[in-house]
Structure formats: structure tokens, C-alpha cells
Amino acid sequence: MGLYRKHVLPHLQNKVMNTEFSRKTRARVCASLEGEVVEIGFGTGLNAEHYPEGVTKVFAVEPSTSCWKIAEPRVTASRAPVELAGLDGQRLQLPTETFDAVLSTWTLCTIPDVDAALAEIRRVLKPTGAFHFVEHGHSPDEKVARWQHRVEPISKPVFGGCHVTRDITSLLERSGFAIDPLDNYYAEKEPKVFGYTYEGVARKA
């Protein structure tokens, strides 16, 4: 899977994560960002066009050199300067309590140690900072949840480590975050096993 993950998956993600629905969602999640922002899982830069004027700089965390290469035109066109600031969301090489916001769009599902990543997000945020996120994860519908557990062994290798069974609300709360607002829904035109969505803003509890 090494060649697939390095050379094929970035181009696949660049296409499937750039739908009309995802663009509208990205715009909504990014709308209230301001100041210096850490983006976990920068990917191919699909959020860059949605950074509002209040964002002064983006510190991008992205392990894939292929994704970063694809992102270059979007980085160049971004209204906010973007700097590659790390490769691993589980161990951020960034100062403590420094950043106004952290952004994650469909990224927490792929991080092996998600608790470590959330601890790092909490660490780098200012006391008044906010974590803006949209993630897919565990559905409260028992039938859908059973199918999520069945497909996860397939989705993980095919979609870059994607876990579809993570309860994002529980993960954030046990990591010391309070979520407000939070919107849960099934994404448009997606199978329910992949489409149950958590969208919101979390702050240090």
C-alpha cells in the first residue's frame, strides 16, 4: 500500500474531497477563523480559498509531500500566508498557548493516536482559542453503526487510515474541550456509514 498511499491517494482525496457539499461545508467551518491558525491535515489545500480576511497566517501540518505538492497553487493563491509547520498532528513542533485557532476538516479520522492529537491541539491553543472542526464518525443509529464497524477494516487501508467509528463528541470532551455550537447530520449524497458528521467549534473547558 506504500505506493498507493504516497502517489495515488493524494490525487484521489483531492478529487473526492472537493465536492459542492464539501466546499460549502469548508466555507462554513472556516468563516469565523481569525488570527494565527494551525491547520491539522492541510492535505491538498482545499481550505485555502475559504480563509477569511481575519486570518493573518496559517501553520499547515501535513505529512504527505505529494499532498503538499498538489497544494502549491492553492498556497500561492491564498489570501493568508501559509507555512508548512509540521508533519505529525500527534506531536506538534509548535509553542504552547500561542494560536488563536486550530482547524481540522475530515482529519481526526485518519490520525492513529487521536487522543495525542487532541492533547496537542489543546496545548497550542491560547486560553481564548477555538478548535474549528468538521469530521465524520460514529452514528447514533445502531444499524448504521453496525455497518460502520464492518466497513472500517476496509476503509482504513483504502482511505488513508480512515476510522468511521470514532465518536468525535466523546473524544473532544474527554480531552478537555467544551463544544458550542455542535451540529450533527448525515452528509448529502454520501452513504450513511461514511456520512454521519460532527461540525462545530470547541474551546478549552
What is the residue range of 116's domain? Answer: 2-204
Q: Is the pTM of the predicted complex or chain greater than 0.85?
A: yes
pLDDT in tens, 127-143: 999 999 999 999 999 99
123: CATH: 3.40.50.150
Per DSSP, what are the bridge partners of residue 79?
A: none
- pLDDT value at position 119? 98
DSSP state string for 145-156 = HHHHHHHHHHHH
Q: Coil, helix or strand for 9? A: helix
**Which of 139, 137, 74 has its CA nearest to residue 106?**
137
Among 106, 102, 60, 62, CA closest to 80: 60
Taking the C-alpha atoms of residue 116 and residue 39, their distance in angstroms, rounded to an integer, is 16
Tens digits of pLDDT across the chain (205 residues): 477 878 798 998 999 999 999 999 999 999 999 999 999 999 999 999 999 999 999 999 999 999 999 999 999 999 999 999 999 999 999 999 999 999 999 999 999 999 999 999 999 999 999 999 999 999 999 999 999 999 999 989 888 889 999 999 999 999 999 999 999 999 989 999 999 999 999 999 9
Q: How many domains does the chain have?
A: 1
Neighbours of 35 (CB within 10 A): 15
Burial of 146 (0-12, 13-18, 19+ CB in 10 A): exposed
Q: Per the structure block, which three cell numbers stand in for 99?
A: 494560536
